[in-house]
Structure 1
Amino acid sequence: MTYRMTRAKQAHNLATLVATMLIRRSIRPFLPASNFIVAIEIPDRIDIDLYEMVTRQLLKRDHILDIDDSVTVHDAAELTQSAGPLISKFRDARRVVIFYTNDEEISPDLNVMIDLRTCIGSPRAVHFMAAARTLGASMNEEEAAYLVTRPLRDVRLAARPGRPIGRLVQHLQSLSRRDVEAAAKVHPPGSLVLECMEGYGPAKNWGLQLAEDIKRWTRGEIEWRDVDRGILLNGPPGSGKTTYARALANSCGINLITESAAAWQAKGHLGDMLKAMRRAFGAARAAQPTLLLLDEFDSFGHRGVTADDRNYDYKVQVVNGLLECLDPSDGREGVVVIATTNNAAAIDPAFLRPGRLERVIDIPLPDPEARKAILEFHLRHRYIGDFDHFRDCTEGWSGADLEKLARDARRLARHAARTEVTESDVIAVMPAVVTLTEEERFRLAVHEVGHAIVGYSLRPDSLVKVTITGRRPRTKSWQAIGATQFDEALPFMPTARHFQDIIAIFLAGMAAERAVFGDHFAGSGGASSADLVLATDFATMMERTFAFGDGLLADMGTGNRPMESLRLADPVLRDAVRRRLDVEYKRAAAIIEEGKSALLRLATRLSQSLELSAEEVRETFAQTRCARQARKRKSRT
């Protein structure tokens, strides 16, 4: 009987002890002090009562200097926001701790009174392990990893007399899946859910379908084999891949566990890393249904690198170990894996097979309407002004850029004691903007119309529109100031002609500039996404990957720039690629020369309107062709 009482006490005190550890770490510098106001950001309001309780106990125990000092603990959301009532409330309070979950809960007046603002973060497995050791209880790493996924309130409520720690974990794991589904239907105000997110395109559609499938699975309507196992999200830095995972987990109403190669590697040598990897997957299965996020997935490496690499054996074992975790013999029911990268080419192809990461979905930089929606979302829908102006001024911005812009604008409004953000707030925090001169806009227009004319000549039905910008942020490169959009899927059986046309279209911007100005500006090269670089890679693939050159040798290359690695290692290949580029450049230049009058008319119009539709290009092209044919007939007569 005594043993059971001791174990029950251990379970009951577990959550309290973990919360105490987190609070003590946050306010340690102030524990000996007799007068302070500290604001602590907590990750979830659901645990606020527990944090308030342990804070009162902590401040009234060992570190009290004057037994008569007043200790007060507040929820920021319940505090009056104006100065007078705040001064009155805290007049006699010597030690004050305020909890909040959102910056909006801290008014400008309250912010002036606070000595320190800090964040405790979420509990980690090491906290539960340390608490268990303090209580003299045994707890394995998988149990600790599972408890991290549950609110401290749940751990505390599940601790009943006679229920030791091991049984507490089992009880939480066995909660009805109906409870999980019900939780998925309720999202706290301001929480991220995929339904409210913009700019994710196909990734959003896939995520919403996954959420529906998981709900059906929890109801027993479908089997797990009918649920997608996972995806690889590919997108530039700041495009919101990690935010996507959080929003998807909220929409699904399931747990989110975040891991990475760096986190596992920090555990020690190869054996420690593999153990950490397996523990993470084990914790995800124990907490099912779970979304397991593997961030910076290209860090795991690629077994296709040369075997002469001194880290080759290490890399192979890491990749093989992760493949076993992704596709174990007994399956991974209840666990969906989301991997993220900004370099899908560096991913080992074995990760992308069915049953593992079953598809690659690109997250592009947001389009104008998505940028408008993202900015509005991060401004908390408390904005006075015109969004269209900022939508156009943020061309090429990522979701992270827009989030920071909104955060800076909210800060200005908050310091001005306003609850709403004005247009002047956003303008004040935007980076300096460079306005393109009339000559720069015209050169840019000539470049983009060159792509459009050659593209229309070779593939008339694929052109969508042509756009340029009249200004750009000073911090952004020139790669985002113009675009010619085509809409054409890769043919089922592409031939050499298809790739030749692609190369000619890429080189057409440079050819157009040279036809009009006699030279071209550096934007045609200098970056992995530049026209000349892409044309060179396609030419390399034609020669070495698809056997469209003189030889039958096929090679896929290695590393982050596989086509470049092939060229660097083979002078003969470089010469063949150079000749192919010269041929397609001359073809593009000939098309440009024939349609030069249309080029000039369209470039003049684009430099003023900043956008041309495919129909405008088609009509102008047809008019100039008819005029040219009429002149030829007249000259013959």
Structure 2
Amino acid sequence: MSDMAKNLILWLVIAVVLMSVFQSFGPNDNSSNQLDYSSFVQQVRNKQVNEVKINGRTIRGVSQGGQKFVTFLPAEDPQLLNDLLNNNVKVFGEPEAEESLLTSIFISWFPMLLLIGVWVFFMRQMQGGGGKGAMSFGKSKARLMSEDQIKTTFADVAGCDEAKEEVAELVDYLKDPTRFQKLGGKIPTGILLVGSPGTGKTLLAKAIAGEAKVPFFTISGSDFVEMFVGVGASRVRDMFEQAKKSSPCIIFIDEIDAVGRKRGSGMGGGHDEREQTLNQMLVEMDGFEGNEGIIVIAATNRPDVLDPALLRPGRFDRQVTVGLPDIRGRDQILKVHMRKVPISDDVETVLIARGTPGFSGAELANLVNEAALFAARTNKRTVSMAEFEKAKDKILMGAERKSMVMSEEEKTMTAYHEAGHAIVGRLVPEHDPVYKVSIIPRGRALGVTMYLPEQDRVSHSKRHLESMISSLYGGRIAEEIIFGKDAVSTGASNDIERATDISRKMVTQWGLSEKLGPMKFADEQGEVFLGGGGSQAASMSADTAKLIDEEIRHLVDTNYQRSYKLLSENMDILHAMKDALMKYETIDAKQLDDLMARVEVRPPADWGESYGTLDKDASQESKIDIEKKSNIDLEKKNVKESEDNSEKENDKKDTE
């Protein structure tokens, strides 16, 4: 039964009780006939009345026929008593009714009690406890989910096979603890899931609970934080007390960095509410009293700010990294999210996976949803590859701003700008292939040049980074060559920012400067509110700082001149690409190939050819690679199952 229904029933019961009380204290109705006073006097004088009872101005009587009646004195009548006695009417006197002490107290205090009741009701609602009162202010807000409420399993989690293997031991332990205990092993009491936003940390925790079939307590780190000191610690104690009653069970704390940040920053002192909450959590996880059968799973995307005492063995014994999926993981995630979407036969998840490097699981789910919305707008029954292409462009480049009106001069300058990016990106070594160029305004950009990596990059070479700098300056240089230095626009502001940032990191962090060598000069100082130290003195001399600036300037100037030279030598391609963009507004990889080969540009192709490097052979290679990895995983799974079966048979023999 919901909390609203319970509250409604409670208030109905209160209303019924109040009505009963008022009726009991109200005047009794004896179903007597009411007479006017003149008729009553006439009946008395006609000797038609046997007896009367007088109570103040109320007169109740019985007539000759046994009929009861009631009448009221309109005013004082001195002759009434004489008339009654002269006509042989029995007269009874009754004292005036007085209110009881209980009734008077109730009537006088009823408004105040009503106001107090309303205030208590609103206080309960403001505390958000679903019926929790003021006395339960320090109770845990963890929500208990039973075995039947969690439907998520490992089959719903894809793209993080290593993380699934790490946490699969928890499921095995909860199902069969003796398997680990007979060898003296102890399951980790705490698992910390670390990863970028959207990689599936919370989903993985749900899958653990769904597979293990044990009680699952879920709570957010911010639910412990309160304005009153000590409330957070009290909620931690209450949460673990509830968990002990349901042991074995799992406690999942999402965004634990809200209460688990480093201590000792000098801010707040020992009476800081967050610090007390953290101290209580440390004690509950591994203090004087153990918590057998309670496994704590926490998730965060900021492990660097967590307190070291929270990360030591015995508390969070194991840190599981849930990283961004690779091409195989993206392919699996797309298939999971496409289960509930009617997919056309032309959809190839391998091509979509290759075209979405760096996408997290949440972003891939958003991609599938956007594609379904595109199909719904055109009243299609299935989602085709064209909708996935549109959805990917919308996510990567932003929504098209077709209503934005650009002058012909601005459109021409944008076309030269994007053509400069594309040509330099095609000519410099180790650069990601250009697969689409558009001058349709998207998001905050007037035009976009999209690059598609041939494979997922884990690291970047110096040659690749310098090529990125050259292509970033290609747009500005194209404007300078065509329109002159005085006509260069502000459209390259973001390009300049990114190129400068890459150059600075190459010199100060990645050790790619010949003069400075493999040394780090950039201090990544922690914020004081996150437990780091305050501002620190510069760790370099003035001469070193000057040399760093000179090296950054050298990198920028060298790649700027290289980009200028490449565009100057290919002016015919620059003009031809501008004309193609003005005509089609968007050109794909095959059209770019025609332009770079100085041949006639073909009309826009279907979605399949817009991937350029992703031809059918590359797609087939990707499928073969994924199938090989899947076969290897299947063999590992079969080997593990056979080992588990042999262990069970040996245990059975030992028992016999």
Give TM-score scaled by structure 1 length.
0.49
Bigger CA radius of gyration: 2
